[in-house]
Homo-oligomer: A and B are copies of this chain.
Amino acid sequence: MSKKQIRLADLAEKLGISTATVSRALKDYPDISAETKRRVNELAKELNYRPNTLAAGLRKSETRIIGVIIPEIANHFFAKVIKGIMEVAYREGYNVMLCQSDEDYEKEVVDARALLSSRVDGLIVSIGNHTHDFSHFSEFLHAGIPLVFFDKTTPEIEDCSQVIIDDYAGAFQAVDHLIGQGCRRIAHIGGSFEAFTFQNRLNGYKDALKKNGIAFDPQLVFPSEKLTIQVAREHAEHMARIQPPIDGLFAATDLMAIGAMNGLKSQGLKIPQDVKIIGFSNWEMAEAVDPPLSSVNQPGYEMGKITTEILIREIKAEKEEREIVYEKIVLQTELISRESTRK
């Protein structure tokens, strides 16, 4: 069993024709005779010829690889986004090179450089919470490689498209809903406020309070660096002791909402009778917990698809040297009301 892979040259030699002709025959160029095409394709199939896309890529300066940098893969929202990305990429004939920045700025930089060195045709990024310098991303734009941000983005880079959700409106909706259900003392578990998404959710929370004439109380806000069930549970145990007692909770992720729900229940509080809870993301588990969790739907899968569609459109435009029109897509959230906020 040979350890070498078949090359165009091997096919050419066996058929007694040039590599140029073999190359064209495989691509079904119109000016190659039907008979030649038949012979070439037959042999290619017989020998399991797999074209070396690196070589082709080097020659054509296109790799048909899309680079993706996300902070954390084992997160249901990002997993859904990646699923959307991969489906569109597959459909359009692109491969996906995936990097996880781990919310680590240095790693994000290293990943970005590796993808640049891999000469990806385009890049999709959700920026890490602690990233405040973006030159590792602007390098792509200088090199003419399209870049689309989703979810976590920055106003500092202008020459690129972005796909986000309306975090502010979603949070506003959520808190307005709680108030509509009778809550007056509403706590908020947020993520790192360094990140725009969590900053926006906090602002939506504040403005919904204000609109309803409820004073903002900073001691009801719990920022969390790590968004784990455990952290949320600890917050909740603290929350249960606040006086006057809280009667509502808006958590910036469903996972935190569920952790807090457990924590509050373990302190003897009843959901929704004593405290009504709403999360953010509406992932699969929200309806499976007890009581089912109200949430704000965040369409991750659609986000991944749209982001990739825009990116591929820009890759094509760049190749054909057409002007790229940058888009800013704001996906709407949707309030999903379940037991956990019932009156």
Interface residue ranges, A against B (CB under 8 Å)? 1-5, 48, 50-55, 57-58, 63, 65, 73-76, 79-80, 82-83, 86-87, 90, 95-100, 107, 111, 113-119, 139, 142-144, 229, 255, 258-259, 262, 265, 284-285, 287-290, 301
Given known contacts A79-B74, A288-B258, is B5 in contact with A143 (CB within 8 Å)?
yes
* Interface CB pairs A-B, < 8 A, 24: A3-B142, A4-B143, A48-B139, A51-B117, A52-B58, A53-B117, A54-B57, A54-B118, A58-B58, A65-B118, A73-B86, A74-B82, A74-B301, A75-B79, A86-B98, A86-B99, A90-B100, A95-B118, A97-B97, A98-B98, A229-B287, A229-B288, A255-B284, A258-B285
Interface centre among A52, A74, A284 (most CB of B within 10 A): A74
A118 touching B74, Cβ below 8 Å: no
**Given the complex, which residues of B lie within 8 Å of A55, measured CB to CB?**
58
**Given the complex, which residues of B lie within 8 Å of A142, measured CB to CB?**
1-3, 48
A50 touching B95, Cβ below 8 Å: no
Cβ-defined partner of A116 (8 Å) among B4, B50, B289: B50
Given known contacts A58-B58, A289-B289, is B143 in contact with A3 (CB within 8 Å)?
yes
Cβ-defined partner of A74 (8 Å) among B54, B83, B95: B83
A contact face: mostly helix, strand, loop, or mixed: helix
Bound CA–CA A255/B265 (angstroms): 22
B90 touching A82, Cβ below 8 Å: no
Q: A271 CB to closest chain B CB, in angstroms?
A: 10
**Given the complex, which residues of B lie within 8 Å of A95, measured CB to CB?**
97, 99, 114-115, 118
**Given the complex, which residues of B lie within 8 Å of A229, measured CB to CB?**
284, 287-288
Bound CA–CA A2/B143 (angstroms): 7
A53 touching B118, Cβ below 8 Å: yes
Bound CA–CA A87/B98 (angstroms): 12
Q: A308 CB to closest chain B CB, in angstroms?
A: 13
**Given the complex, which residues of B lie within 8 Å of A114, measured CB to CB?**
95
Bound CA–CA A117/B58 (angstroms): 14
A86 touching B100, Cβ below 8 Å: yes
